[in-house]
Amino acid sequence: MAVIRTSGLTKFYGRVRGIEELDLEVRKGEIFGFLGPNGAGKTTAIRLLLGLLHPTRGRAEVLGQEAGSIEARQRIGYVPGEVAFYEGMTGEELLALLGRFHRGDFRERQDYLARCLDLDLKRPIRGYSRGMKQKLAVIQALRHDPDLLILDEPTLGLDPLVQREFYTLLMEEKGRGKTVFLSSHILPEVERVADRVGIVREGHLAAVEEVGALKLKKVRRLQLWLREEVPPQALEMEGVEVLSRQGKHLELAVHGHIDRLLPWLSRLPVEEMVFAEASLEDTFMKFYKKETG
């Protein structure tokens, strides 16, 4: 069953295309990662799904309703990419105000979420840090028990421990049969929890992948400083590409799984190394560039 379905969804901004020909289907009960660099069109697509923007052409259905309909909005929890609240209220007062848009008493669930994220709802919002405001945004999105969560860069400003708790909440929601549409530009973040991912760049959907397939394609950059120079044949390794070499300093691209990397590194005179997170842009350039022409 599709929770989100789009067909030819396009939004133009004058000569600039925010999103073009977006054909997408998100299944019930899955966490779908919507990946792309900043400026790729992710937020525009989300605003079209919420009815905050209207498409130039094409159509979208959310929860079996036209995107932006009151019926659909009642069943959606949304965390925007840029959070803004009434600063004079406490967190508790704000949630009570927003709660009037939904039928039912969700105070017990609200308190549970506040405990999970360690947020004092009785404090004035003007005294909240950026991370605390992000926690409040997550609570307001989940408190009314929505069938669909649409999250635009939801972990911005959260420290690593809170991020871990947030991911646990997402897995709980999935276990309860809820659907999560998670937008991010951080590949490891989405890879951690998503079932499938859609990769968007310059307004085009480049690919939709199962996470297992994406893991085989991801690209990491590895910098090595050696105690002594080694011959070129010593650097030959399947899945490892030498990007640059300046004396004892090497920059490498590592493709796919890294299980064979450590034995290979143990045979080199490594003095220091930096192994960065997998880069979405590098992965895209390697595998998906041709698909967008």
pLDDT at 161 (0 to 100): 87
Of residues 222 and 282, which shows the higher confidence score? 222
Residue 181 dihedral angles phi and psi, to the nearest 5°: -110, 105
Q: At 22, is the pLDDT very low, low, confident or very high (cuts 50, 70, 90)?
A: very high
Residue with tokens 């999250």, as numbered in its chain:
151
Whether the predicted pLDDT of 290 surpasses 60: no
pLDDT at 55 (0 to 100): 94
Q: Tens digit of pLDDT for each residue in 60-99?
A: 999 999 999 999 999 999 999 889 999 999 999 999 999 8
Q: At 56, is the pLDDT very low, low, confident or very high (cuts 50, 70, 90)?
A: very high
Q: Tens digit of pLDDT for each residue in 104-120?
A: 889 999 999 999 999 99
Of residues 158 and 127, which shows the higher confidence score? 127
Which of 47-51, 52-56, 141-145, 274-278 bottoms out in mean pLDDT, i.e. has the lowest?
274-278
Residue 263 to residues 37, 39, 253, 256, 259, Cα–Cα distance (Å): 33, 39, 17, 16, 8
Q: Tens digit of pLDDT for each residue in 160-213?
A: 888 999 999 999 999 999 999 999 888 888 888 999 999 998 888 988 989 888
Separation between Cα atoms, residue 141 and residue 144, nearest integer Å: 7
Separation between Cα atoms, residue 88 and residue 44, nearest integer Å: 30
Separation between Cα atoms, residue 224 and residue 250, nearest integer Å: 5
Q: Which residues, including other chains, have CB under 8 Å from residue 13's CB and lie 6 or more apart?
A: none
Q: Tens digit of pLDDT for each residue in 201-237?
A: 888 898 898 988 887 778 889 999 999 999 989 989 9
Structure tokens at 243: 């990007």
Separation between Cα atoms, residue 289 and residue 202, nearest integer Å: 11
pLDDT at 288 (0 to 100): 65
Angle value at C-alpha 86, between 82 and 89, nearest 5 degrees: 135
Taken in order 102, 104, 107, 113, the sign of the CA dihedral is negative
Separation between Cα atoms, residue 105 and residue 115, nearest integer Å: 18
Whether the predicted pLDDT of 293 surpasses 50: no
| 2-13, strands of its sheet edge to edge | 16-27, 2-13, 57-62, 65-66
pLDDT at 189 (0 to 100): 81
Separation between Cα atoms, residue 162 and residue 154, nearest integer Å: 11
Whether the predicted pLDDT of 273 surpasses 80: yes
pLDDT at 170 (0 to 100): 94
CB of 95 within 8 A of CB of 121?
A: yes
pLDDT at 256 (0 to 100): 78
Structure tokens at 12: 């133009």
pLDDT at 29 (0 to 100): 96
pLDDT at 292 (0 to 100): 47
Helices (H) and strands (E) in the chain, counts: 10, 14
Percent of the chain with pLDDT over 70: 95
